[in-house]
Amino acid sequence: MLPNAMSNPSSSDKMIFIAFLWLVIAGSVGVLLRLAFVLDLPLWIDYKNLLHTHSHVAMMGWLFSALYLMIAKTFNLKGRFYFNLFWLFQLTIIGMLMFFPIQGYGLGSIPFTTAHMILSYLFAWKVIKDIRLMKLNGPNYPERFLITALVFMVVSTLGTWALGYMMAASLKGSAIYYASIQFFLHFQFNGWFIFAIIAIFLQYCKSHDLIINDRHLRIAYPTLLISCILTYALSVTWSTPKDFIFYLNSIGVIIQFAAMYYLYRWLMTNSGKWRPHFKGYLGNLLIFALLCLAVKIVIQTLVAIPALAVISYTIKNFVIGFIHLLMLGAITSFSLVFLINMGKVKIEKMKSGINIFLLGFVGSELILFLQGVMLWQKMGFLPYYYHILAILSALMPIGFLTLLIKMARKRVM
C-alpha cells in the first residue's frame, strides 16, 4: 500500500489491530449502556457521557479507521503521509476515550474532537488531490463515489461547528440545535459512510479488471446523491413537522429506492465477474452486508408515508435498530470482509468471532424492532426485555474480542 510504511505487513497488521480494538471498546461501552437498564451502575458512571463515548469511539475510532485503511489500500494511495496521519487520528480518539466518560462534551473532549475534524479535512484534501493526479480517463465511478463521500464527510461537520455557535448564543435545546446534530449524523451515515463503501467495492472490482462503467451506475450515482440530500428532511421533521418537509423526504426515499434498484441491477448483471473474488464464508458475509444496506433503504422507503415517518422517529427502538442496521449490519460486516482480507488472516480462524457477533446483532435487531412494534400497537413490554437485550448486546463485543485475539495471534506467529 505505502512504501516503507503501510505496505509493510507488520505496520498494516498493527493498524488493522487498532481498528478492531476500537470496535471492541465501542461494543463494550454499548453493553454498559444496556446494563444501565438492568443493574444499578456506580454513581460515578454518567449514562449520557457513556452514550457520547460509545458514539464517538464507534464512529471516529472504528468506522473512520476502517474506512481510512480500506480507502488507502484499494485506491493504492502512496506516501508516508497516510501512515503518519493515521496515527495522529488515533491520538485524538485516545483523548476522546479519556475525557468523554468523565465530562461528556467539555474542555477536555472538545479539543480532541476538533482536532479529529481538522485532520479529516487534511485527509480529504490529500486523497482528492492524489486520485486527481492519477488522471484517469473516462467516467470513473470509484473516484466519483469516493470524492462524494469525502465531500459529505466535510460538509457534515458544518453541523458540528454550528453547535458551538448555538451554545454560545444560548440556543442549546432549540429546534435548530437538534437539526444541526442531525445534519452531522445524516451526512455521516448516509453520505460519507455509504458512498465510501460503494467506492471501495467498485475500486476493488476495477483493480481486478472488472468493467464498472455501465448504464446502471450512470443512473445509480446521481439518484443516490440527490436522495442523500433530500432525505435529510426526515431528520428535522420531529422538530419541524411541516408538510413540505415530509414531502421532501418522501421524494428523497423514493429516489433512493430507485438508486438501490440500479445498484442491484449492476450487482446482478456483473455477479459472474465479482462473485468469484468473494468465495465461501467471506462472500456470504459480504452478501449479508449488502442485504442489510438494502433492508435499510427499503425501511426508509416505507417512511415516504408521513404517518409512518412520525412513528419511525418517535419510537426510540426503531431509531436505535435502524442505526445499528446500517452501522453494524451493513458497514461493519462490509469492513470485516475487506480488513480480514487485507490482514491475510485465514477466515477459518475468524469464523467463530464473526458468528458470535452476527448472533448478537441479528438477535438484538429482532428484539428492538419487535419491541418497537409492540410499543406502536400499545402492547407494553416484552418480558425481561432489557435483560435479553443486554445479553444479546454482550455477544457482539465478545465476538469482536475473539477477532482481536485471532489478529494478535497472527501477528505473534
Tell me the pLDDT tens digit for each residue of 266-296.
Answer: 988 888 778 888 888 989 999 999 999 999 9
Report field, pTM of the whole predicted structure over 0.85: yes
> Do the beta carbons of residue 31 and residue 394 sit within 8 Å?
yes
330 Cα distance to chain centroid: 8
Helix axis angle, 243-269 to 215-230, nearest 10°: 160
Nearest residue to 333 via CA among 294, 365, 278, 292: 292
pLDDT higher than 50, residue 4: no
Distance CA 232, CA 229 (A): 6
Distance CA 178, CA 248 (A): 19
- The pLDDT score that the predictor gives to residue 411 is 56
pLDDT higher than 50, residue 406: yes
3: pLDDT confidence band, cut at 50, 70 and 90?
A: very low
Distance CA 86, CA 199 (A): 20
Q: Which residue's entry shows cell 492524489?
A: 130
- The pLDDT score that the predictor gives to residue 364 is 96
Distance CA 43, CA 377 (A): 35
234 or 137: which leads in pLDDT: 234
138: DSSP letter: S
> Do the beta carbons of residue 400 and residue 356 sit within 8 Å?
no
Q: What is the mean pLDDT of residues 361-390?
A: 93
Distance CA 64, CA 120 (A): 9
The string of pLDDT tens digits covering residues 42-95 is: 888 899 999 999 999 999 999 999 999 999 999 999 889 999 999 999 999 999
> Do the beta carbons of residue 286 and residue 204 sit within 8 Å?
no
pLDDT higher than 70, residue 139: no
Distance CA 386, CA 34 (A): 7
**Which range (9-23, 116-130, 135-149, 375-389) has the least confidence?**
135-149
- Helix H or strand E segment including 239: none
Listed by start position, the domains of the chain span: 1-135, 295-413
Residue type, 329: G
The three grid cell numbers given for residue 183, joined into one nine-digit string: 445534519
Q: Which residue's entry shows cell 463521500?
A: 149
8: pLDDT confidence band, cut at 50, 70 and 90?
A: low
The three grid cell numbers given for residue 97, joined into one nine-digit string: 476515550
- The pLDDT score that the predictor gives to residue 25 is 97
Distance CA 302, CA 350 (A): 36
Helix axis angle, 333-343 to 64-74, nearest 10°: 50
> Do the beta carbons of residue 376 and residue 311 sit within 8 Å?
yes
- The pLDDT score that the predictor gives to residue 89 is 97
Number of H helices and E strands in the chain, helices first, is: 18, 0
Show Cβ contacts of residue 184 under 8 Å, excluding neighbours closer than 6 positions: 156, 157, 158, 159, 160
**Which range (91-95, 293-297, 315-319, 358-362) has the least confidence?**
315-319
272 or 216: which leads in pLDDT: 216
137: pLDDT confidence band, cut at 50, 70 and 90?
A: low
Distance CA 220, CA 83 (A): 33
The string of pLDDT tens digits covering residues 237-270 is: 766 677 788 888 889 999 999 999 999 999 888 8
Nearest residue to 367 via CA among 345, 393, 333: 393
- The pLDDT score that the predictor gives to residue 49 is 93
364 or 2: which leads in pLDDT: 364
351: DSSP letter: H
- The pLDDT score that the predictor gives to residue 247 is 86
